[in-house]
Amino acid sequence: MESMNECLQGRINTCSAPGGLKITDIRFAHVKASSMHCILVKIDTDQGLVGMGEVRDGASATYAAMLKSRLIGENPCDVDRLFRKIKQFGGPSRQGGGVSGIEMALWDLAGKAYGVPVYRMLGGRFREQVRVYCDLGRTPPSQRVNGTLKARAIRERMDRFGMKMCKVIVGMEEIQYLYPDEELLSGPQDYIDQILAGHENLLKEDPVTGLADIDDKPFKRRMEDYGMVQHPYTFIRPTERGLDRYEEHVAQIREELGYRVPIAIDHLGHLGLDDAKRLLRRLEKYNLMWCEDVLPCTMAQEYRALRDYTSTPLACGEDLTYVENYEALCAPGGVAVIHPDICSAGGILECKQIGNMAQKYHTAMAMHMCETPVAALATGHVGLATENFIAMEFNAPDDDYWQDLVTGLPEPLIRDGYLHVPEAPGLGAEGFNDEVIRQHTWPGYPEIWAPTGQWDREYSSDRLWS
């Protein structure tokens, strides 16, 4: 029988004194994961605990680095206070990545300091594990040329992880590119020329792996790019033949996967409200799970008008930040599903509050996730703790090293169609796997966890009132 001293030692966290914990450093690593440029955040403390976070895919580490001087010497367990301190520096979409990634790491540190998983600090769980839906990942371009091949590719990826639901990108621009000799779109000729030369989601094949190559889209975009113009201002319009071809593509996907599989469609194209109505009316017969980001997420009234016109559920929200902006989208009743990305929306607690707010408007919540296991774990904790949560996204079915970017996770983390959130303290991972990170570093960032001393004395008067 164990002694009283042994019993107590097994129950007391001897690694940390939470009340005196202090942040000492913040550093970053840039990696290839989920077909994206992902930025990992590491927060060091004076007691040896390390917090793990992640900036939004395709963003800049600067969004988080500029917060360093505001956090050094602070107790990371004061998550809410520190979030309010830095919240003003988070903008929409990728600009929310700094605040969100830092907030995530603070929760990881708080959980490790107190010896509990994050979801317990959010109020406990509504489910045992978190449902996951599959993306195409790095499916080769040759397997994307029609709906049948695309469906077979995603079925194979779903089967690897036991997933029962999926999301497929089908854009009007992609359809026009596949049939360059047919007049599927009308609009400004320079935009049509750009689409025929290569649409935004066009992928190239990696000569080594045979999979789709990982591309850095933001650095290739130019001021005059069609892809940088919001939907209502392109005046790209599908012809009736274009709608026929699009519907044919979706019909092939549905026929191949069957009607029991929930299918969402994403990136429908840069279409205005009127043409979105035409397209969605065509898709109703395919019983889609939802259509995502049909219009920009700030067009709440247009979403209301679109929902009045179609019976296909609409999803939106990966580029919004903070609960008040999601409420502006939910209040008119235009979306059936909000779709925050934890690395943009404000982090863990903010996503939990976004879900609670959406439930007030009878709106469900799924979660965008095209990042590393760090963001996946954070998303999983929110999924456990939020009642109206449906599922989270997974965009790394072809990255066999994905889980190995961190250490200490159950093998495999995603199985039988679910992400199994660990019961370990914090997010649930022990730490970063520097060896694997170095093997998959993003080009141009050879040194992982490089010193960030240049940000130690960044200063401004941050008060927002007089």
C-beta neighbour count of 209 within 10 angstroms: 11
More confident residue, 4 or 161: 161
When pLDDT is averaged across residues 423-445 and rounded to a whole number, the result is 96
Task: Give the model's pLDDT for residue 4.
Answer: 44
**DSSP structural state of residue 214:** P
What would the pLDDT profile of 165-176 be if each residue is shown by its tens digit? 999 999 999 999
409-427: per-residue pLDDT in tens?
A: 999 999 999 999 999 999 9
Element (H, E) at 361: none
> What's the angle, vertex CA 360, arms to CA 357 and CA 361, rounded to 5?
105
Sorted by sequence, the CB contacts under 8 Å of residue 76 that are 6+ apart come out as 21, 23, 43, 45, 51, 82, 105, 106, 109, 110, 113
Give the residue ranges of DSSP H helices in 26-96. Answer: 62-65, 79-86
Rounded CA separation 25/451 (Å) = 9
d(CA 355, CA 365): 6
The reported pLDDT for the residue numbered 1 is 45
Its pTM stands at 0.94
**Maximum Cα–Cα distance across the chain:** 82
Structure tokens that stand for 443 in this block: 């080009």
Distance CA 227, CA 223 (A): 9
205 or 324, higher pLDDT = 324
Residue indicated by tokens 């195409």 = 136
Convert the pLDDT of each residue in 60-79 to its tens digit.
Answer: 999 999 999 999 999 999 99
Altogether, the residues listed in the chain come to a count of 466
- pLDDT the model gives residue 220: 62
Count other C-beta atoms under 10 Å from residue 247's C-beta: 17
| Predicted local distance difference test score (pLDDT) of residue 179 | 96
Q: What is the pLDDT of residues 206-245, one digit of tens each?
A: 777 888 877 666 666 666 788 889 999 999 999 999 999 9
Q: What is the pLDDT of residue 8?
A: 40
Nearest residue to 350 (alpha-carbon basis) of 377, 392, 390, 378:
378
Q: Return d(Cα 325, Cα 193) in angstroms, integer.
A: 36
Domains of the chain in start order, with CATH, are 19-115+446-455 (3.30.390.10), 130-432 (3.20.20.120)
Percent of the chain with pLDDT strictly greater than 90 = 86
Task: Please determine, for residue 13, whether its predicted confidence score (pLDDT) is greater than 90.
Answer: no
Q: Percentage of the chain surpassing pLDDT 70?
A: 94
The pLDDT of residue 456 is above 80: yes
Crossing angle for the helix pair 323-330 and 348-360, to the nearest 10 degrees = 20
Q: What is the pLDDT of residue 7?
A: 44
CA distance 153 to 137: 10
Q: Confirm if 391 and 165 have CB atoms less than 8 A apart.
A: yes
More confident residue, 262 or 219: 262
Amino acid at 167: K
Q: pLDDT confidence of 446, banded at 50, 70, 90?
A: confident
Rounded to an integer, what distance in angstroms lies between the CA atom of residue 369 and that of residue 90? Answer: 19
* Overall average pLDDT of the 459-465 stretch: 89
